[in-house]
Structure 1
Amino acid sequence: MTYKTLSASIIYINKDMINQRIDNFLKKKFKNIPKSMIYRIIRTGKVRINKKRIKPSYKLKIGDNLKIPPIKILIEEKKQFCIKKYEENLLNHILYEDNYLLVINKPSGIAVHAGSGISFGVIEYLRDIRPLEKFLELVHRIDRETSGILILAKKRTALIAMHQQIREKKIIKEYIALVHGIWPHSLKKISKPLLKIHLKNKQKKMFIHNHGKTAETYFQIRKQYSFTTLMSIFPKTGRTHQIRAHTSHEGHPICFDERYGNSNLDKLIKNKINPKRLLLHAFSINFIHPKSGNMLYIKAPLSVSIRNFLKTLV
């Protein structure tokens, strides 16, 4: 069995925390701690507010000084493995952080949140290692297979402001992708509606369909190889699998895309350096900071494996 000790901490209660019962507040903050332990540390006086003992029914007030003792918790072996795996892949991939936003360069193969048979994702990991972070939510999502920029909000006001920019299409994203075939110079825009279809294997897939939702993607050639093309791609809308579905529909699927790609074409370009991943990367993002109002431009460098793979292409 593996144990983890959360260090003692002091929380100053602000207007976003008031009017909550102390027991409910702690249960939300420490989701991995048994409720019985929370009630025990309150009952025994280890949790103090303004240096005084309180009851579980105490409601937080603005300006309260909440002291929480060190807490020892048990981590399941499976979860411990996930935490270690995520720690190696995420802590060294933070691109930007302040009191409002956290931006990471998400590796390929890691889901952004739990669901669809996945019990652990980026958001669950970050909440686990930052239990005192009062607010942490995904601003947007990217596919599990896709690497690159992922933004999280550390305040509700920041989340609301970022979502407003998304709705107003003020956020500019650039993706880098390697697609099969020689992309035509004349094809600079695809504007075709996408409809989500649930397949028999429980997977979802987007298809071009007149009854689908509007989807618009812009393209720019970066470099052409003998049988593939390196592209800069700018999605104007943010539909599920939009880039993957649009490129596949035009006969230029992204290399090593198991859902929308062409395995026969993939076999033709495999070599000694096999990236073993979808060659789609969220490369850069341009947006207005939700607090300062300054324009931010953030880039996420390509992984070493992709850069080395591209060097082998002719």
Structure 2
Amino acid sequence: MNNQSTIAFDLDERFSQVQYLEVDADQSGQRIDNYLVARLKGVPRTHVYKLLRKGEVRVNKGRVKADYRLHAGDVVRLPPLKVAKKAPPKQLSQGLGRALEAAIIYEDDGLLVVNKPPGLAVHGGSGVDLGLIEALRQMRPDARYLELVHRLDRDTSGCIMIAKKRSYLRHLQQALRDKTAGRGGITKIYQALALGGWPKRVSRVSAPLLKLEQSSGLERIVKIHPEGKPSITEFSVVQRYRDYTLLEARPVTGRTHQIRVHAQFKQCPLLGDEKYGDDGANREAQKLGLKRHFLHASALMFVLPGASDVTRVEAPLSADLAGVLQLLESQKLEG
């Protein structure tokens, strides 16, 4: 009887033979099902579970269940598989490669921090041929592990973390669930230009956010709603202008579009925000050269694995946003 999987895909030669994979220390603690899904690109998750149930995947020559957690030194046997061939990814242009190399603002053995350019999605899909993570993997073909720690909207620029080790990914994603860098968490700091005068007594917005999908299924919109998830953003005024306010925003929680919706909630939507902003003000903003919402992830504060001190990384404003502020110099207000 032939044990080879008969899943009906064209054969990908990378999986045509039995493979024996040794688990290293960085992969230790990972569930076997998640380990397999990450390595068997093109194999449906349901088929991964079928391989485990039938005993075709073995660890140290024995059967394991899907929730088995790997240990350093374990040997995983993968059977021959017929795996769907993926279309070759769009190739990274030399221009984007140079721009991203210059945008790396922090790097150590386990972490990259990039000042993400505006207009670049963090990953491909939904009509996006090449995202940040795919571009970085092409730039670093020998890197064994590159994964997004968190995300930014396509039109939001600034600091984004990419883990180079799974241990760093676990540590930093847990830290994201904590409150502040000083207590082992991660502090995110944004700069945002809001329409109008920010209320002087408002330094903290606490309003539940509910994420909805538009009829297309591709578009997301977020609303203040009593059935939403608890959401908190801290705001402070950096500079007041005649018609605008430059804000520093620190999201305490990490909800989709949180800063943008909380600013709108206080009748000070972000300039250039087509989804939650003011259409008339956005048309005026285009005359200033602003073609997206004015939101920039300006700094991150975090504690690295095994460290006690807080690391702070800062990303300078992108040229389009800096240009807007330069044009508003004559509109600055005192106090």
- TM, length-normalised to structure 2: 0.69
**Could you tell me which residue of structure 2 aligns to residue 97 of structure 1?**
107
Give the structure 2 partner of residue 118 of structure 1. 128
What whole-Å deviation, never above 9, does each CA across 1:72-102 have from its counterpart, x for those lacking one? xxx97x823x433531431110000011100
Q: Which ranges in structure 2 are unaligned for 5 or more consecutive residues?
A: 1-21, 29-35, 42-71, 74-86, 180-184
Q: What does residue 79 of structure 1 align with?
A: 90
Judge conservation of contact 1:183–1:252 (CA < 8 Å) in 2: yes
User: What is the aligned counterpart of 1:245 among 239, 244, 261?
Assistant: 261
Match among 276, 285, 289 for residue 291 of structure 2:
276
* Segments of 4+ moved more than 2 angstroms: 12-18, 82-86, 267-271, 291-294
In structure 2, distance between residues paired with 1:269 and 1:141: 26
Deviation of 1:308 after TM superposition, in Å, equals: 2.0
Comparing 303-312 and 172-181, the one that deviates more: 303-312
- Could you state the TM-score of these two structures normalised by the residue count of structure 1? 0.74
Q: State whether residues 26 and 167 of structure 2, in contact with CA within 8 Å, keep that contact through their aligned partners in structure 1.
A: no
1:196 aligns with 2:229: no
Structure 2 residue aligned with 1:174, among 165, 170, 189? 189
The CA RMSD measured in Å over matched residues stands at: 2.7
Letter matched to residue 248 of structure 2? S
Which residue number in structure 1 is paired with residue 151 of structure 2? 141
Q: Could you say which residue in structure 1 is the equivalent of 2:233? A: 217
The equivalent residue for 2:280 is 264
Cα offset, 1:269, TM superposition: 4.2
Select 2:307's aligned residue among 292, 295, 299: 292
Instruction: Give the whole-Å Cα distance in 2 for the aligned partners of 1:247 and 1:261.
Output: 9
Which amino acid is 2:243 matched to? F
CA contact (8 A) 1:137 1:154 kept: yes
Are residue 157 (structure 1) and residue 161 (structure 2) matched? no
* Number of residue pairs matched by the alignment: 253
Q: 1:17 to 1:217 in 2, by over 3 A?
A: closer
Contact 2:272–2:285 at 8 Å: present in 1 too? no
For the residues of structure 1 that align with 2:286 and 2:137, how far apart are their CA atoms?
38
Structure 2 vs 1, CA of residues 133 and 291 (structure 1 numbering), >3 Å: closer, same or farther? farther
Identity %: 39
The question of whether the paired residues in 1 share the 8 Å contact of 2:190 and 2:297 is answered with yes
How far does the alpha carbon of each residue in 1:16-52 deviate from its partner, in whole angstroms, 9 at most, with x for none? 589xxxxxx9x959x8xxxxxxxxxxxxxxxxxxxxx
